[in-house]
Amino acid sequence: MDVKIENGWKARLSDEFQKPYFENLTHYIKEEYRNFMCFPPGKNIFEAFQKCPFDNVKVVILGQDPYHGVGQAHGLCFSVNDGIPFPPSLLNIFKEINADMNIPVPATGNLNRWAEQGILLLNATLSVRANEAGSHQKKGWEEFTDVVVQKLNTEKDNLVFMLWGSYAQNKGKIIDNSRHLVLKAAHPSPLSANRGGWFGTKHFSKCNEYLISNNQDPIKW
């Protein structure tokens, strides 16, 4: 199966595209998009890979599901299109960046600017039916994105993995802590963040300190 995806990723994931689970997943997703409103738009399903080529990756943020409201999701985890109000999790991310690094909350929640600096904004599930959170889980996406994480873990060095919440932390269990920096915190959603374990974790400055120590440019958050 020919999947339109950035060439560096394609070279490493092409075997996955030929496997039965991915064939079944593709058929299921095509039917879902044909019969229901789904997000992100079909052209943006692999946007995280398009915006952050394999060779450019230096930070990985793992999300779970795309946003399921109209106009929000565009293929990058936690990110929303320009002009869309910040979802609560994203607002808490910006609040922590402000407290950690004294960077003002931006005018837009579009995180393309992060992806273009080498941050892979990867959801475990790359699509969702409108207004039905988790509706495309356990159809094959998780198997595919596990392979993505494994490729990064074994083929690159000195990455920063940001694992927020138990779901991301479980997915990141395969990451070699001796090879990469793994930062763990509570999920930035209000339900989790307000219980503690999100605010004050200083992940953003810790990320930059690690990148600089490994002769890489820091992220302009």
Amino acid occupying residue 107: A
Please check whether residue 157 is in contact with residue 179, taking contact to mean a CB–CB distance below 8 angstroms.
yes
Residues 6+ apart with CB under 8 A from 155: 12
CB burial of residue 107 (10 Å; 0-12, 13-18, 19+): exposed
- Which are the catalytic amino acids? 65
Residues 6+ apart with CB under 8 A from 78: 61, 63, 87, 89, 90, 93, 111, 121, 188
Phi, psi (deg, nearest 5) at residue 119: -100, 120
Look up tokens 């595919």; give the residue. Answer: 144
The three-state secondary structure class of 193 is: helix
Strands (E), the chain: 38-39, 59-63, 119-123, 128-129, 160-164, 181-185
